[in-house]
Structure formats: structure tokens, C-alpha cells
Chain A
Amino acid sequence: MTVHITPKITLSLPSLAALMPMGLVVGPTGHIVQIGPTLAKLRPERDLLGQRFLELFELKRPRHVVNMGHLKAAAGAPLSLRFRDNPRSELKGLAVALEGEGGLLVNLSFGIAAVEAVGTYQLSSSDFPATDLTVEMLYLVEANAAVHAVSQDLLSRLDSAKVAAQEQAFTDTLTGLRNRRAMDMVLGRYARRRDSFALMHLDLDHFKAVNDTLGHAAGDHVLQEVAKILVEETRAEDTVVRLGGDEFLMIFHNLTRPDQLTRIAERLLERLEAPIMFGTDPCAISGSIGITTSDTYTDIDADKMLHDVDMALYASKHAGRAQHTFVGEPATSEGHDTVH
């Protein structure tokens, strides 16, 4: 049979201070009778010796510790406390009973709040014992922040590059309007979110004649001027797409009222009929429009809508100059044709 004898140790106060610079001894009456140098540094203008522990600190855990008896009962359990006066730093602690008169040895630490505390109290590495990992933690926090800053810098540059590349990928280079890829994305998004929208398909008339008689430079100029008109006659939340050649598509977000769409179509056609000047040469063009709205369908199928609006456009073309036609309505030159 083995008998275990717990050896008693005696520690000088300087040794205790070196081991636990944030330690303190609470006497049997609840008053602080010894205090570590780092802890004392936290309240340089006050003498903490002789103060009542529970008047200096508020215990958050365990709760309802109001006298020395309660505090003794908390020995061995994790303590969570903070100063009652400013700055009200949070501390972690552990109390152990001292033999003899019934005092307590309490060791404190900043825990995760150390990062803030070293700044608040201007602490240096000599305020922490060599075994304490606070300084290592601060090192890691700072190393992490430095690495993070470098990564963040890289990410923001990559992001700008991505935005620029996307912008380029979604833009028609001649007119600056959106392209088919952008159209697919917008239509996909509206269909997914079940947003209501209208499609207006525009095809220029007599554009080929401009190209043939005045050359491609004139043609390009006309397309750019038309693009300007389309942007001016639509709202910022609408999407104006150049589908290719002299074909355009406008997507009106949350706008499906036929009377409003009619007004927009008429206004567009009116402006397109005004000659566009290329140098001193007037370029006379016109346009035909097909319109459909998401309200016309129970299930939104972008391909079906694009096909239908294309058919409506050709109905307009057959009906004569500067016409617009809604999907599902008979193509006639009466009714909507106000421009002559």
C-alpha cells in the first residue's frame, strides 16, 4: 500500500509575483492583501491593497457572489469578472483556497481581451511571464492581420479585374449596349424571381440602304445614334440589348401595361424616323417593333417569348412603316399607328 503525501510548499512573495504577475491574495475578511505587479499596473492611480475584492471586481460567473463565503465556494471553478470602475476590462480568473487562515489565491488573465488590454494599459512583454501565451497570441493576431491585409489587397484587385472583364463580356463593343449574353442573364434572373417584364424587339428599316450608299462608317454611326435614343427612352432599370446587325431588344423591368408600352414604342419610332446626320448626309431610317409581356404567359419561357416577340416584329414589318405589334394581337396598321 502506498501513501501519497501532498508536499506543502512555501513560496516567497517575489516568486509568487514572478509566477503570477496578475495574481492576488484575498484575506479571510475579503480584502486584498497581496497583488501582482501587472495587476497593480492596471490601476496605477489607486492602491489596490486593502480594498475589498468584491468591491473592486464584479463577478459575472458564477453569479450572486456577494461575500467571502460565496467566493470561497467558487474556488476551483472558472471565474469571469470585470472591474467595477473604468476601464471595465473583462478578466478570467481561478481561485484556490490557501491553507491556514482561510484566504484565497486568485490568478487573473485577460483571456481573449488581451489584444485590447495591452493597448489600454500600455503593457509590454515583460508584464507577462515567459510561460504565458499572451504575447504569442498577440503575435498571431498581428501576423494574421498583416496576411489578411495582403490577401484583401489581392482580392480587391482581382474583383476590379473581374468586374471589368464582366462588363466587357456583357457589352456590345460598337454601341456600348448590352449583348446577347447579358440578355440571357437578365431574362434568366427575371424568370427565376418571377419578376414581371416586357420585351420590345426593334428592327431597323432602310438600314441596309445607309450602309450601301454611305458606307459602313455611316452605318456604324447610325447604330450608335440609335443606341443613344434607346437608352434615352428607357429607364435605368431597363436593359437595352443589341442582338446583332440592326436588331435590338429592350427588356422593361416591372412594366407590362400595354398603354405605357405603346407610348414608349410610338415615341421610339417617332424619334427613329427623324433623319440621323452623318457629316452633312442625312440617313433616313425607320423601325418595326414587336412587344410581349410576361403577363401573357402562365409559365415564363424566355425562348418562347423571344420567338413570339420576333413573330410580332415581322407582323409589324408586313403591316408597313413604323409599326408596333403586341404578341397575341392581330397585326394591322390601324389602332396603334399614330405616326405617319
Chain B
Amino acid sequence: MHGLINRSIQCFLRDTYGAEAWTQIAQLSGTDEAGFEAMLLYDDAATGAVLDAAAKHLEKPHDMLLEDLGTYLVSNPQIEAVRRLLRFGGASFVDFLHSLDELHDRARLAVPDLDMPALEMRDHGGGAWSIAVTHPHPGFGHVMVGVLRAMADDYGALVLLDHQGRVDKAEIIRVELLEASFAEGRDFHLGLRAS
């Protein structure tokens, strides 16, 4: 697994549950306490070990932990870059949903060896979509639910999200848009230094 993913998990655990929790999870999983380097590649087993240890130590189901990770990735101000890069997907939440088809390729343009899940949108009409999340390692679907929830907040949209399990190799997420502008979204300017 790419170090960016492992490092994200590490930062999420440390920022959310504290340095002490991370230390214990690292020990429990046999990971160096210093953790992961963002630009290096790691054995997939290391990622699984950390997630298993975190679920055990925090007494939380895997799915919930992964969903919280997704929310953290978008809403943590320390990693504003992720939210901004996702907001480039479009001016509205619906535009953003449709941009998810490209997310895999977009991510690869930035980090060529980053193995992001492939996302496939299907528009069911009437404000309902389904997203198929495909990756050799199941679980990314739950992360995406967290990402979508945080992005809906970011756009000020009110949505219902439901992880509907796996069909073949894909995890299916159902998205229902209840109200496109339910609340005031967060500001987004194309220019980084825009005031």
C-alpha cells in the first residue's frame, strides 16, 4: 500500500485518538512507532495490521473506523490539500459526484504510483446515484462514505449515504441528494492565495 494511505491512517489515529493511542496501536500491530513515510511503498499486510490493531484497541468496528478516516481526510484543516483537490471536481455537489469517475486518473496524475480505487457513477435519476468502488482491498467503500459525507457538508448539501455491501469485486454506495443547498457550504476559491 502506498505510504500516503498508510500515513493518512496513522495521522487520523494520532489526531483523533491521541499520540498514546497511536503508540499502543503501533506496538499491537508490530509497526515502528515512528510510523510510515508518505512517499514510500509498504507491504499491504502492514496496512491491514494497523487497521486490525486500531479496531481492537479502540473497540470500534472496522467499517466505522474507515468511514471516520474518510471524514477526517476531508475535514481536518491540517490536510486542507485533500479537500481542495476534491473541490476542483465541480462547483456543486452534483458536479462533484460526477467528477468522481475521474478521481482515479486525477490522483494518478499527481502521484503516479498511488493505487486509488476505481469509482464508477451510475445516475438513477430523481437525485439518486450509486457509486461502485473497486479496489483489490475491500474497505475503500467505507472510506468513500466518510469522504462523501464530509464533502456534502463542504458543499452545504443534504444527502443520505448507504454502503450496500459488495457486488462482485465492487463495494456499492447509494447516494440520495435530499437538498442541494441545505446549508451554507464552505468557501472555495480556485486560487490558493485568494483572500
B36 CB → nearest A CB, Å? 11
Q: In the complex, given contacts A135-B190, A138-B88, A154-B38, what are 16 additional A-B residue pairs having Cβ atoms less than 8 angstroms apart?
A: A115-B191, A119-B193, A122-B191, A124-B190, A125-B90, A125-B190, A126-B91, A138-B190, A139-B106, A142-B192, A143-B81, A143-B110, A144-B110, A145-B192, A147-B111, A150-B39
Question: A123 within 8 Å of B by Cβ?
Answer: yes
Question: B189 within 8 Å of A by Cβ?
Answer: yes
Q: Which of B47-100 contact A (CB under 8 A)?
A: 81, 84-85, 88, 90-91
- Report whether A125 and B91 are in contact in the complex, using a CB–CB cutoff of 8 Å: yes
Residues of chain B within 8 A of A140, CB atoms compared: 109-110
Question: A118 within 8 Å of B by Cβ?
Answer: yes
A141 CB → nearest B CB, Å? 9
Residue from the list B88, B90, B91, B111 in contact with A142, Cβ < 8 A: B88
Could you show 29 A-B contacts with beta carbons less than 8 Å apart?
A118-B189, A118-B191, A119-B189, A119-B190, A119-B192, A122-B189, A122-B191, A122-B194, A124-B188, A125-B88, A125-B90, A125-B190, A135-B190, A139-B85, A139-B88, A140-B110, A142-B81, A142-B84, A142-B85, A142-B88, A143-B85, A143-B106, A145-B192, A146-B81, A146-B110, A149-B81, A150-B4, A150-B39, A153-B38
Q: How many chain B residues have a CB neighbour from A under 8 Å?
A: 21
Give the A-B pair count, Cβ closer than 8 A: 65
3 closest A-B pairs (Cβ-Cβ)? A119-B191, A143-B110, A146-B81
Question: A51 within 8 Å of B by Cβ?
Answer: no
Beyond A125-B88, A125-B90, whether A119 also contacts B39 by CB under 8 A is: no
B105 CB → nearest A CB, Å? 11
Q: Which of A114-163 contact B (CB under 8 A)?
A: 115-116, 118-120, 122-126, 135, 138-140, 142-147, 149-151, 153-154
Residues of B within 8 A of A (CB): 4, 37-39, 81, 84-85, 88, 90-91, 106, 109-111, 188-194
Q: Secondary structure at chain B's binding surface: helix, strand, loop or mixed?
A: loop
B111 CB → nearest A CB, Å? 6
Residues of A within 8 A of B (CB): 115-116, 118-120, 122-126, 135, 138-140, 142-147, 149-151, 153-154
B95 CB → nearest A CB, Å? 8
Beyond A125-B91, A146-B110, A150-B4, whether A118 also contacts B39 by CB under 8 A is: no
Residues of chain B within 8 A of A151, CB atoms compared: 39
- Report whether A124 and B4 are in contact in the complex, using a CB–CB cutoff of 8 Å: no
